Each structure stands twice: as structure tokens, then as C-alpha cells.
Structure 1
Amino acid sequence: MLKTVSFKLEEDFLEEVETLSKELHQTKSALIKNSLEFYLDNYDGIIAKTRDEDPNKQLIDHEDVLREYGLL
């Protein structure tokens, strides 16, 4: 079921949305919905990349994880 969501955009950003929606022959709503779906579908990859690039990341040895869950 679709629900209505309302939010504000900067004017220059809205102009980009309008231009792109015309080029793609989509409504602004469809373009924003499709863009948000694409972003959320790829969000896990974005988080993984951010974590991978973190110089302070902590890595856990695979064997330690297996031991913790009684698999080793």
C-alpha cells in the first residue's frame, strides 16, 4: 500500500529532479521513489564500504566468531 510522504527540497535540487524526470519521461514522484528504492537497495554496500575505509575499524578473527557460537 502506498502512503503519501511530504518533504522539502532545495530549489536547485528540485530543478534537477524536474529536468531529469522530463528526460526520463517519469513523474517527479516516480523519479524520487525509484531513486530512494535504488539508494536503499544499495545501502548495505555503502555501509560496508564506509566501514572498510575506517582506519579505526576492528576486525574479528573468523575462528573467534566460530568459537563464540560453539561452532569450533
Structure 2
Amino acid sequence: MMMGGGGLIWIIIIIGAFFMFNNNNFRGKNCSSRNVTKSKTSLEILEERYARGEIDKEEFIERKNNLLN
């Protein structure tokens, strides 16, 4: 039932890979704040639309005043 040196090395490699995989999973869960996307505010969306030329200056000012009031 004893394994040769080659078999023991493979077991050590598999166990090491298992622990590395689990460690990366735990690290990813603990540092999940890096993956959080910031949601845009209404004003940021409005500014982007104005910058892309989807709305003109008058409409931008009117909608901005509506948002801020």
C-alpha cells in the first residue's frame, strides 16, 4: 500500500493546488469591494448625455435645475 516517491510528489502537488485554489476564493470574497461598480447619479447621467450631444444646453440646464431643486 506504500507509494513510491513519484506518487507522493503528485499528492503533495494536488494538495498544494487545492489550498491555493481555496485561498484565492477566500481572498476574492474578502476583497469584493474592488469589484463593486459605482452606480451613477442622475446628474452624472445627465452630464454624460450633454457631453455626447444627446441634449442641448437649454435642456441640460432645465433638467439640471429640476434635479437640484
TM over 0.5: no
Q: Report the TM-score when normalising by structure 2.
A: 0.33
Higher RCO (Cα < 8 Å, 6 or more apart): 2
- In our comparison, the structure showing a higher alpha carbon Rg is 2
Q: Whose helix proportion is higher, 1 or 2?
A: 2
